[in-house]
């Protein structure tokens, strides 16, 4: 069960932190290598390799495993500020853990504990995972607004470059627009849908001279 602080996060972030990745994909049960190791930010849904290619306008993250835990590349997580989260190197890419880690002994007396779970951390880091940063900021006065990001072009178009709009609201609004665009084009997380074309009346023939 997620904490109230995490339940106040945007839908895509809640889904990312609660999904059980690398389970078999229910949409492709008979396919080989059908592990759900992708996540659509706009649909807040886990995808397998057979669900791809996905809608080009949707943000899709690839999920990896490191030390038997789910991780995501920092460069791919464009809607959230990962500063302060302890990162690790996987195949020459910087990654962060999605969920709170429980393997090591915790103590509030350590020199640099995680701000959310008190797990010992190297100096220069505040959180051991994405979950811990979301939880800690969600319980603070400023909330998650200071860590959530929106697409700069979309924010400039919506607020004229000045605005002060809540990033969580702006991100949700932008996701809604993308879903609408996806529905119109007929592609979604559930697969490709073909819209029935209405038969167009034949153009009237001009009278002969």
- Tell me the C-alpha distance between 174 and 184, whole Å: 16
**What is the Cα 33 distance to its own chain's centre?**
22
Confidence grade of residue 204 (pLDDT, cut at 50, 70, 90): low
Task: Reply yes or no on whether the pLDDT at 190 is more than 60.
Answer: no
Q: What is the mean pLDDT of residues 53-79?
A: 91
pLDDT of residue 115: 92
Q: What is the pLDDT of residues 9-28, one digit of tens each?
A: 999 999 999 999 999 999 99
Using CA atoms, how far residue 115 sits from 33, 146, 198, in Å, is 38, 16, 58
Tell me, what DSSP letter sits at residue 141?
S
Structure tokens at 79: 């809607």
**What is the Cα 114 distance to its own chain's centre?**
23
Task: Of 21-30, 51-60, 196-205, give the range with the top mean pLDDT.
Answer: 21-30
How many residues are given for the chain?
209
Q: What is the mean pLDDT of residues 118-123?
A: 91
Task: Reply yes or no on whether the pLDDT at 206 is more than 60.
Answer: no
- Tell me the C-alpha distance between 54 and 5, whole Å: 31
Q: What is the value of pTM for the model shown?
A: 0.71
Q: Is 45 left (phi over 0), alpha (psi -120 to 50) or beta?
A: beta
pLDDT, greater one: 11 or 110: 11
């Amino acid at each position: 069960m997620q904490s109230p602080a995490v339940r106040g996060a945007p839908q895509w972030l809640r889904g990312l932190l609660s999904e059980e990745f690398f389970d078999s994909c229910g949409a492709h049960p008979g396919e080989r290598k059908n592990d759900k190791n992708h996540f659509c930010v706009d649909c807040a849904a886990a995808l397998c390799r057979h669900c791809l290619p996905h809608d080009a306008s949707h943000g899709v993250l690839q999920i990896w495993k490191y030390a038997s835990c789910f991780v995501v590349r920092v460069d791919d997580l464009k809607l959230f500020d990962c500063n302060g989260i302890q990162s690790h190197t996987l195949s020459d890419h910087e990654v962060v853990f999605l969920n709170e880690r429980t393997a090591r002994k915790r103590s509030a007396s350590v020199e640099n504990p995680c701000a959310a779970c008190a797990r010992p951390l190297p100096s220069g880091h505040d959180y051991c995972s994405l979950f811990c940063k979301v939880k800690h900021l969600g319980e603070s006065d400023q909330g998650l607004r200071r860590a959530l990001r929106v697409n700069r072009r979309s924010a400039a178009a919506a607020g004229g470059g000045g605005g002060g709009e809540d990033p969580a609201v702006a991100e949700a609004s932008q996701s809604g627009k993308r879903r609408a665009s996806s529905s119109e084009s007929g592609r979604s997380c559930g697969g490709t849908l073909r819209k029935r074309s209405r038969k167009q009346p034949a153009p009237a023939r001009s009278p002969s001279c």
